[in-house]
Amino acid sequence: MFSRTSPSQGPTSPTVTGFYDPASGSIQYVVADPATGKAALIDIVQDFDTAEARPRHDSAQEIVDFVTREGLEVEWILDTHPHADHLMASAWLREKLGAPNAIGARVRDIAGIWEDLYHTPGAFDPERDFDRLFEDGDRFRIGELDVRVMLSPGHTLGSITYVVGDDAAFVHDTFMHVDVGTSRADFPGGSSSVLYDSLQAILALPEQTRLFVGHDYPPVGDREEPAWEATVAAHKRDNPHVGGDVGREAFMQVRDTRDATLGLPDRILYALQVNLQGGRLPEPESDGERYFKIPANRF
């Protein structure tokens, strides 16, 4: 698995190692406090064979192996939102590592939307499947590093950003890499106008803040390797969707036009019913087997 480490810039700055999942274009993060060896895992992928509806944890195990080699102690298993393009490994990691898992509190609202789409009333219980549901402005620590939670909706109703220390923010499906633009806003509960506000709130962070995005899909232009880190200053200057003080209406036109051309991710109808249960598969039925429920003609 391709990985790259962004070193700490000082005592209030985390070391960040990103791991690229080529099957989904997702970036998974190990965020460590160099002073204490404490760490958090962010948006770790559960591998999934769509042809056979078969999950695996090979990629997550690679990250666990990395943590072990580096001598890190995982304090948190974090997700930024219920992903549409991959199954999260949160439940498996919680059982394996014994660390609490967390996501944004508005996952409750997302669960309500998808219970209707799947016609599975009462199927999702975030309080059961996550140890912490973060509200906007909540704070916690990774070792000695302060972490602040920002509600960053638009891609979903309940997406959150983790601002770690004084120079790192994990901005998930808001921005894409600086040479690409921004993420789609057309999923149920999404809004390009709301996403614009979230982007502007992130751009209000200090200009040296490293923004770590959720996805990349190379090749892009002359770039063939995946990339996921750029500063606030770089996005303000060079991002093709919001750089140079692009206004709300211009952004919405670009974003909505692009979104109208996009199909659903091939894992979405599997992923949401797993991710809204913290990464757990559906419960076994009377024959002991587990079954996905896929709505027909709803999209």
What's the farthest any 2 CA atoms get from each other in the chain? 59
Query: Does 218 have pLDDT greater than 90?
Result: yes
pLDDT in tens, 234-278: 999 999 999 998 999 999 999 999 999 999 999 999 999 999 999
Residue 221 has pLDDT above 90, yes or no: no
High-pLDDT (> 90) share of the chain, %: 97
Q: pTM for this one?
A: 0.97
Does 103 have pLDDT greater than 90?
yes
Within-domain flag for 273: no
- Per residue in 141-155, pLDDT (tens digit) is 999 999 999 999 999
Query: Cβ atoms within 10 A of the Cβ of 50, count?
Result: 10
C-alpha to C-alpha distance for 154 and 286, rounded to whole angstroms: 39
Q: What is d(CA 126, CA 115) in angstroms, rounded to the nearest whole number? A: 12
Distance CA 57, CA 66 (A): 14
Q: What is the spatial distance between Cα 17 and Cα 3, in angstroms, rounded to a whole number?
A: 7
211-226 average pLDDT score: 94
Half-sphere exposure of 202 (CA within 13 A, CB side): 38
| 96, pLDDT greater than 90 | yes
Asked if residue 277 is part of any domain, the answer here is: no
Averaged pLDDT for residues 60-71? 98
Q: What is the CATH number of the domain that holds 177?
A: 3.60.15.10
In a domain, 215, yes or no: yes
Residue indicated by tokens 């606030």: 232
Mean pLDDT across 113-135: 96
Name the token pair of 152.
């960053």
In a domain, 292, yes or no: no
In a domain, 157, yes or no: yes
Question: Residue 299 pLDDT > 90, yes or no?
Answer: no
Please tell me the total count of domains within the chain.
1
Residue 1 binned pLDDT confidence (cut-offs 50, 70, 90): confident
The C-alpha atoms of residue 123 and residue 87 are separated, in whole angstroms, by: 17
Q: Given this model, what pLDDT does residue 9 score?
A: 94
User: Residue 222 — pLDDT band, cuts 50, 70, 90?
Assistant: confident
Confirm whether 93 is domain-assigned. yes
The domain containing residue 98 runs over which residues?
A: 3-263
- Report the run of H or E that residue 232 belongs to, with start and end: helix 232-238
Q: In this model, does residue 298 exceed pLDDT 90?
A: no
Poorest-confidence range of 16-20, 159-163, 265-269?
A: 265-269
Token readout for 217 is 């899909």
Structure confidence at residue 291 (pLDDT): 95
Decide if pLDDT at 225 tops 90.
Answer: yes
Query: Would residue 119 count as lying in a domain?
Result: yes
In a domain, 251, yes or no: yes
Average pLDDT of the chain to the nearest whole number = 96
